[in-house]
Amino acid sequence: MEWLSLDFFIALFSIVIIDLVLAGDNAIVIGMAARNLPKKQQKQAILWGTAGAIAVRSLATIFVVWILKIPGLLLIGGILLIWIAYRLLVEKKGDHDSVQAGTTLGAAIRTIIIADTVMSLDNVLAVAGAAHGSFILVVLGLLISVPIIIWGSSLFIKLADRFPIIIYLGGGVLAWTSAKMITDEKLLQQWMDEPLLKWGIIILIVAGVLAAGTMKNRKAAATEDAA
């Protein structure tokens, strides 16, 4: 992928969208972990906890980028990402009240790093797939999206609740990323050299995920109305 090419910016846009839609809840967890600290220490916990979480996530993503170069794993990762995209569309937001708040600065920082790492496994896989092996894209995506997640998470979550199309955009980007991972798999290249087949698979995956998510949500809404 050439530096500053159209493909580069499409991939960067995909990474930022993925970070936003998959990591919105992470900022809530950060706040919950630091809620019992004095105001001054809350800011320190959020700053250092987030810095540690970013470092861990960056290393994990770079490791996954390298792992995905092994033949067959890109296909497996793409299939897993299809499920992640569908889950994003249909899952309700979780309850974060169970997150243990730290009573000391060190405990809060540790909780933030551990919680973010556990919650970011899907994010790591998605970003690694969208980066297409580019470490620069991984770093740029984090630099752009993390400040938004930290300082604008509440606004983003409210917007997503008010305008569901934002979540569907995220689901579409994830589905697109999963389709690209599958069609870029080296083991399948002898079939993917046919453009009609390749783009047919991509369109089928994206449309299938969005349609399945939409039908599931409509069914759930109808059930709630009936109750």
pLDDT in tens, 213-225: 999 989 988 887 7
Question: Contact 46/169 with Cβ under 8 angstroms?
Answer: no
Rounded-to-integer distance, Cα 12 and Cα 20, Å: 12
Assigned token pair, 223: 């059930």
- Residue range 115-131: average pLDDT? 78
Mean pLDDT for all residues in the chain: 79
Between 27 and 88, name the one with better pLDDT: 88
Residue with token string 């730290």: 102
| Full-model pTM | 0.76
pLDDT in tens, 28-49: 666 667 766 777 777 787 778 7
